[in-house]
Structure 1
Amino acid sequence: MTDTREAVLDIEGMTCASCVARVEKRLQTVAGVTASVNLATESARVVFPEGTDPGALVSAVREAGYDARVRREQAPAAPEGDADGSLRTRLFVSAALAVPVVALGMVPAWQFPGWQWVSLVLTAPIVLWGGWPFHRATVANARHGAATMDTLITLGTLAAFGWSVWALLFGTAGRIGLTHDVVLFGPVHDAGALVYFEVAAAVTAFLLLGRHIEHRSKRRAGAALHALLDMAAKDVERDDGRRVPVDHLVVGDRFVVRPGEKIATDGIVEGGRAAVDQSMMTGESVPVDVAVGDPVTGGTIAADGQLLVRATGVGADTRLAHMARLVEDAQTGKSRVQKLADRISAVFVPIVIALSVLTLAGWLLAGQPVATGFTAAVAVLIIACPCALGLATPIAVLVGTGRGAQLGILVTGPEALENADRIDTVVLDKTGTVTEGRMSVADVVPFGDADPVAVGRIVASLEHGSEHPIARALAALADTRSDVDQFTAHAGRGVTGVVDGHVAFVGRAGFAAEHATLDAEVTARIAGFEADGATAVVAGWDGEVTAVIAVSDTVRADSADVVTRLRGLGLDVVLLTGDNAGAAAAVAAEVGIDRVVAGVLPEGKVAEIERLRAEGRRVAMVGDGVNDAAALATADLGIAMGGGTDAAMHASDITVAGSGLAPVATAISLSRRTMRIIRGNLFWAFAYNVAALPLAAAGLLNPMLAGAAMAFSSVFVVLNSLRLRRAG
């Protein structure tokens, strides 16, 4: 199999879905290349054979009539304003000149002698200079035999302007004192001295306004990704006191984080304590306390305290860089519905041009005035722009995935959004998903006259220093500890030692029975804890049992609410775990899950997912561990908890970065809302053309109104998509 590489091309000059189709087609003429071009991000993601020169990709794009460059950075630079402000300047100047042209053309009372010649002087710079971006793109595409949205705009505006100039110079429209009315709706029957300067001026101004709003909105839509990138620190203080750029760090370097500073890169805390504000990464508003041994993420902020951190990931290997790549990949990819829209748009422009010619011919064959047929033909050209159709999906995906990144939800691509929209069953792993994934003491029951404080101190002293999950939970029973003599660890059973003059022990029931008598009350308490799914630990000293301690994995605080929310979304919820049935049942009862599948190995999880799919269900799997990776990949939608293993995140379609389960429900809700927006965009884009084209061909729509409607259709799609910025 041939090795492949991947590159991102930033492309200049694309204006509609027809441009996208042309660039994709040209790129794929290079041997072994597959490409996905996105209008909203103005970029192409290209996979090509190892031996292919990236310069050949740029050349292919230029052969299609556009400019391109290979992106060198790991993510795009923050978008700048319009080049030299030219688009905005063209808009303002054209609008200022168009107002008097439209007023003179539409209000007969204001048509002073020679008004039509003044209109010519005012309209010429609007059409020729203001509309130059459209005409330049038309010429560039025409050289390569292509027709795009700009072709329709150029043909329509130049036809209206050219007809008017001809009528002034060679017809009777130049007569001083001539006046005429403008018909916005209905056919034009007067074949005499008609000029269309107001059409050419207004259409150009409307289209410039639409293009300007579209560009601004696309920049706003992509702001989430660039805000993510801006989170990275620019420089860092090494442990030797030198301050260096962040990109000078290598894995293993140690650096200092002072209060209020950004953590430079991913690492492990080797000194100090601090509350770290992770809100920009995970959406959590409460800072997380970190100390020696805890991992920290680059881009988060030490709200207080000072840390000494050892770098474990730098540059493209950091979590922040990984998040940025996921977001950009999602925004660059295409859904199935977008691919369909692209195929339609690719043939739409030639069809419209043909329809415009047929419209003119039809009116002439029907014996109608040339002016009537010309007006209808120009309206057809202008009204039928496929720009809204081309933007309908990618702009919604751009905004939706960007909003997801702000909420700590990373989507791998548009297909994941479509899959999330269709699921009807959510399967939840238990440990690390519904629960915190770490053991804690749930209950301590002292016996006899044992002092609970003494129990906590002696148990914590014995278990201090052990890395076993249960031992770490027991070590947290007391903040102060005593010295331990004659300490002995009995692997998998318990520990003994002399603490505060007592010969103490801590361990499972069988181990404890070797050091003390377990009476009926103690045995009943042990059985009760185990029936509830907890691990029972017996502690005592000097031959007597002093306490039975329940240790369990803590259920996440938001799990019950999230299960209720998932059901409110019409989803069935299943708990799937490798843990024992007692522990699984206890957790399920606490969070309100009725269906539990427990005691399954990783292959058993895969089998359960496949069984649910065989029943016709669309299944989402939520997990965090290595043992969940296969099930995540098997499900229709895999959702990985951000604190989980790399294997789980790589196998998933969506990764949630927050520490709770709530982002899972938010991810599904956001995906559904994004797909609703996409469907709404596509409906109005199609409906607009279906309704408007017959009206234009029938001569019932003035070209000026057609231009305004066309510009509005694109603006509507963009503004409708921007509603997703408030989602979540």
Structure 2
Amino acid sequence: MDHAHAYEHPHQQVLQMHEHSVEIADEMHSHAGHSDHGAMVADFRRRFWLCLALTPPVLLLSPMIQHGLGLGDVLRFRGNGLVLFAFSTVVYVYGGRPFLTGFLSELRNREPGMMTLIAVAISVAYFYSAAVTFGLQGVSFYWELVTLIGVMLLGHWLEMRSVIGASRALEGLVRLLPDTALKLDAQGNMQEVPANALQPGDRVLIRPGAKVPVDGAVAEGESSFNEAMLTGESLPVSKKPGDFVIGGALNGSGAVTIEVKATGEKTYLSQVIEIVKQAQASRSRTQDVANRAAGWLTYVALIAGFGSLGFWLLAGQTYEFAIQRMVTVMVIACPHALGLAVPLVVAFSTTLSARNGLLIRDRAAFERARDLTAAVFDKTGTLTEGRFGVSDIAVVADADEAEELRFAASAESQSEHPIAQGIVAAAKERGIAVPPPASVRNIAGEGIVAVVEGQEVRVVSPGYLTRLGRTIGDPRLRELESQGKTVVILLRAGEPRALFALADIVRPESREAVAQLKRLGISPIMLTGDAEGVAKAVSAELGIDEYIAEVLPDQKAAKIKQLRDRGLRVAMIGDGVNDAPALVEADLGVAIGAGTDVAVESADVVLVRNDPRDVAAILGLSRATYAKIVQNLIWATAYNAVAIPMAAGITFGTGFTMTPAVGAALMSASTLIVAVNAQLLRFYRNKD
């Protein structure tokens, strides 16, 4: 494989992932007769609105509705039945087409399900009603036909919108890479070339603020690189000649030249893409409960319908009576309630969650969240703010903390280094006025020296003093360093005045989030690439009993799999690109909203407010949603179990025979009960 072609591989993977997502959508909704998921959603939407527009006139022209409203004399006119037939034919042909083609697909695959039942129901209602219009004695059911098709189109439209767009996740990854690079020739001349034309051994100039186009090693210059979007590391990483840089990383303030080491599928980013792709492809495909119930209902309705037709004919009843029994069975088995049982609850659940800062992307995973036993948090950017800040200040006995912070912030105020920015930010947060420094000078790699209000002020590393032969006997220095924190020392007039410990700032909401999960019986676990000391300190601060430290970015998904192999049902909460495979591998992937696009697109749920406490809200809402779905499914199936035998004529000897009109009314009542029960979800409040 040539290198240019290899570099194009991520884009090929995007296309493959798009095809995979379409296959999933087609498998879930093969009845729609479309090859593109987005087009399928738009098509159902168009059909729904047209059918909705035709529904009022069909209702008003239907004799049963006219009689019920007492408007028969007002609305009935010559040719009323033909107009009703024409409108209903449009709805049946145009609105019902996805279900009819889906029925043919299920028939070819020998897997009758929801589409078969809907197709049989609307076809029986339509053709029986048409026969009545043109002379058969009986009652037409055009109103039932159009409302059934409208409700089914709405339900499937809502359902398909929840299918995950897997291809966008990989597109988000690819967008991290620049399209062009500044290639240097042997004479040092610079030329802008397509990034996919680079080959190992080429030298590339990375300007300040630019992204690295491919994996490579620093050949000349020094700079810091922000790899947070790739590794989740909160601090920019300093790189010097010989150090490895990752394609997609953002260069800091220094210009460097790198030597290309890997392109195409061998780059770190391409490997992350492949992990996401494999995790997506290996996911279990949960079969919808409503479809399984509809499959059984299909057989029951078909057997009961045609069985009742044959039985009553053999029993000597008239053809009209027998066909009415069959029509009543088919009409009462119309899956209004069953079709709405899941999508309607999901619609209310989605609205409710959005109001609480949650965006549900994968319905099936969200529903599975009710059974979670462990919540794995990525540390950087999730439990922490992802920024370097002052966590501790230790001053000498006679020093004032605010005063020492003022001197340190002044000395660091003109520096772009993360430590300097953290100290300055700490002073601003406390409302401390920072005086301008004079004669600022960097101490290469070890600190800064400045004159502040006539005093020499130094902010330096402990190693700087050690090399000068000075030791810091303060035990707090070792204690802070043992927690994995970066410590700098403030000297004024040559004497140590304060220790500043800097670390990734823990979100104030994280402690409450951990406590909420414990109350729910969920075990919080922290997953981080940081050192053991950092992980231990943060876990202790938050009350997390289990943590996994020093995890390389490409190992996170494997760690999630290991937890699942232990029998845990796992939610993964993260925000970085490196979290994407783990988000997909988990039973529930939850992304912090401020995270990168790929993390959001790979997740099942997005936390818009960057508040880890919303994880508990997700679990509570998931349990409430599932309870409503189960209640609706139980009602829809139990209703059919009772009503279908009655429709078939089991009560004939008692003097009561259910007519098609009564069956339709009962079916509508069942639908209303399901709809009202779904709306009760509006009153859900998270108690934790």
1:435 pairs with 384, 387, 403, which one? 384
Give the match's secondary structure for 2:436.
coil
Give the equivalent residue in structure 2 for 1:580: 531
Partner of 1:697: 648
String of CA shifts for 1:387-446, please: whole Å, max 9, x gaps.
443444344445544554554434443343244344321111222211112122234333
Note if contact 1:578-1:598 (Cα within 8 Å) is conserved in structure 2.
yes
RMSD: 5.0
Deviation at 1:578, TM superposition (A): 2.8
Match of 1:488 in 2: 442
- 1:175-324 superposed matches below 5 A: 196-197=138-139, 200=140, 204-205=142-143
Secondary structure of 1:661's counterpart equals: coil
Question: What runs of 5+ residues in structure 2 fail to find an aligned partner?
Answer: 1-8, 105-115, 164-208, 210-279, 652-657
Q: Is the 8 A contact 2:513 2:612 kept in 1?
A: yes
What is the distance in 2 between the residues matched to 1:681 and 1:448?
69
TM-score, with normalisation over the residues of structure 2? 0.63
Matching of residue 613 in structure 1 with residue 603 in structure 2 = no
Q: CA deviation at 1:533?
A: 5.5
- Find the aligned partners of 2:132 and 2:45 in 1 and give their Cα distance: 45
- Within 5 A, what are the aligned runs for 1:54-203? 82=50, 85-94=53-62, 98-99=66-67, 124=81, 128=85, 131-132=88-89, 136=93, 149=118, 151-153=120-122, 155-156=124-125, 159=128, 196-197=138-139, 200=140
Which residue in 1 is equivalent to 2:635?
684
Seen in structure 2, the aligned counterparts of structure 1 residues 94 and 396 have a Cα distance that, compared at 3 Å, is same
Please report how far the alpha carbon of residue 36 of structure 1 lies from its aligned counterpart in structure 2 after TM superposition: 5.0
Q: Is the 8 A contact 2:47 2:95 kept in 1?
A: no
Pairing 1:536–2:504 present: no
CA contact (8 A) 1:633 1:652 kept: yes
Alpha carbons of structure 1 residues 361 and 120: separation in structure 2 relative to 1, 3 Å:
farther
Using a 3 Å threshold, how does the CA distance of structure 1 residues 483 and 145 change in structure 2: closer, same or farther?
closer
Matched with 1:380 is 329
Q: From 439, 443, 460, give the equivalent of 1:507.
A: 460
2:663 aligned to 676, 685, 706, which one? 706
Q: Quote the residue 1:314 is aligned against.
A: none
Q: Describe the SS at the equivalent of 2:287.
A: helix
Aligned-partner residue type, residue 540 of structure 2: A
Structure 1 CA distance, aligned partners of 2:583 and 2:28?
A: 28
**Alpha-carbon spacing, 1:544–1:145, altered in 2? closer, same or farther (3 Å):** closer
Alignment CA distance shift 1:579-1:97 (3 Å): closer
TM-score, normalising length: structure 1:
0.60
Could you list the per-position Cα deviations for residues 192-212 of structure 1 after superposition, in whole angstroms to 9, with x for gaps in the alignment?
xxx755xx4xx5546656666
Q: Partner of 1:471 in structure 2?
A: 420
Change (3 A) 1:499 1:369: same
Structure 1 pair 585/350, CA: closer, same or farther in 2 (3 Å)? Answer: closer
Q: Match of 2:305?
A: 356
Partners of 2:314 and 2:44 in 1: CA distance: 54
CA spacing shift, 1:481–1:349, aligned 2, 3 Å: same
Deviations 1:302-333 (A, max 9, x none): xxxxxxxxxxxxxxxxxxxxxxxxxxxx9xx9
Given that 1:461 and 1:481 are in contact with CA atoms closer than 8 Å, whether structure 2 keeps it comes out as yes
Question: Hey, what's the Cα distance between the residues in 2 that align with 1:447 and 1:688?
Answer: 78
The letter for the 1-side match of 2:448 is: V
Residues 233-277 of structure 1 show CA distances to partners (whole Å, capped at 9, x for unaligned) of xxxxxxxxxxxxxxxxxxxxxxxxxxxxxxxxxxx9xxxxxxxxx
Deviations 1:463-483 (CA, angstroms, capped at 9, x unpaired): 223333322111222442322
TM superposition shift of 1:557: 1.8
Measured after TM superposition, the shift of residue 531 of structure 1 is 5.1
Q: Which amino acid aligns with 1:669?
A: G
Distance (whole Å) between structure 2 residues aligned to residue 34 and residue 427 of structure 1: 29
Cα gap change, 1:145 to 1:602, in 2 (>3 Å): closer
Q: Could you say if the C-alpha distance between residues 556 and 691 of structure 1 is closer, same or farther in structure 2, counting changes exceeding 3 Å? A: same
1:23 corresponds in structure 2 to none
Task: Give the CA deviation at 1:447.
Answer: 2.4
From the superposition, tell whether residues 132 and 600 of structure 1 become closer, same or farther in structure 2 (CA, over 3 Å): closer
Say whether the 8 Å CA contact 1:388–1:714 is kept in structure 2.
yes
How far the C-alpha of 1:383 sits from its partner, in A, is: 0.8
Checking the alignment, whether the CA contact within 8 Å between 1:538 and 1:549 is kept in structure 2 is yes
1:497 is the counterpart of 2:450? yes
**2:170 alignment partner in structure 1:** none
Tell me, which stretches of 5 or more residues in structure 1 are unaligned? 9-27, 48-67, 105-114, 168-194, 226-267, 269-329
The percent of aligned pairs where both chains have the same amino acid is 29
The verdict on how the C-alpha distance between 1:397 and 1:155 changes in structure 2, with shifts beyond 3 A counting, is same
Local SS of the residue matching 1:616: coil
Structure 2 partner of 1:277: none
Aligned AA for 1:643? A
AA matched with 1:688: Y
How far did 1:158 drift? 6.3
Contact 1:579–1:600, Cα closer than 8 Å, also in 2:
yes
- Please state which structure has a larger fraction of its residues in helix: 2
Q: Structure 1 CA distance, aligned partners of 2:68 and 2:399?
A: 95
Within 5 A, what are the aligned runs for 1:21-60? 35=26, 46=36
For residues 221 and 462 of structure 1, what CA distance do their matches in structure 2 show? 59
Does structure 2 retain, via aligned residues, the 8 Å contact 1:534–1:552? yes
Aligned residues: 532
Q: How does 1:589-604 map to 2 (within 5 A)?
A: 589-602=540-553
Q: Within 2, Cα distance between the matches of 1:546 and 1:537?
A: 11
Measure the CA separation in 1 of the matches of 2:593 and 2:465.
39
Measured in 2, the distance between the counterparts of 1:33 and 1:653 equals 16
> What is aligned with 1:310?
none
Equivalent of residue 582 in structure 2, options 618, 631, 647: 631
Q: 1:274 maps to what in 2?
A: none
Q: Is the 8 A contact 2:384 2:505 kept in 1?
A: yes
Contact 1:37 1:44 in 2 (8 A): no
Change (3 A) 1:433 1:130: same
Structure 1: how far apart are the matches of 2:131 and 2:523?
A: 64
Matched, 1:416 2:385: no
Give the 3-state SS of the residue equivalent to 1:336 in structure 2: coil
Aligned with 1:554: secondary structure?
Answer: strand
Output the amino acid matched with 2:286: R
Equivalent residue, structure 2, for 1:568: 519
Distance 2:353 2:150 in 1: 26
Q: What is the distance in 1 between the residues matched to 2:55 and 2:89?
A: 10
